[in-house]
Amino acid sequence: MQFIKQPWSQRAASILQPALDGNSDTIKAEVENGQAELWEIDKDSFMITRLETYQGRRSQLVLVAGAGQNADGVLAVYCDVAKKHNLIIRVHTIKPYMPRIFRRNGFTFSHAENDGTKIFYYNR
């Protein structure tokens, strides 16, 4: 599996649109100013990530938005990276089908926000 860091593009925005949940301007700005990174995966998928560091706690790799093919394979790669670098992965989702995919890949449900967003962690 090949992950290539990319600048924001219309192609990425188009593929990621269902995952951006109306936050495309904010997420685009985060990628363009370096707060988040856009990854093209095997030429047919994209993932936006952000690394959050905390004083005295383990850093978190936030999977901001992803779309394309092979969700299980992509998540497996990120889980391996997290284990190798002692990171926690955090994801937020409102999509009804995503909790099943996260659980299948070793993520644990944390809580639901008032707006229905579900928060999952991968912490190995």
- Structural domains of the chain in order of their starting residue, each with its CATH number: 3-122 (3.40.630.30)
Burial class (CB in 10 A: 0-12, 13-18, 19+), 21: middle
pTM: 0.91
Per-residue H/E/C for 6-47: ECCCHHHHHHHHHHHCCCHHHHHHHHHCCCCEEEEECCCEEE
Measure the CA–CA gap between 103 and 113, rounded to whole angstroms: 18
Q: Is the pLDDT of residue 78 over 90?
A: yes
Read off the pLDDT band of 21 (50, 70, 90): confident
Q: At what angle do helices 24-32 and 10-20 cross, to 10 degrees?
A: 130
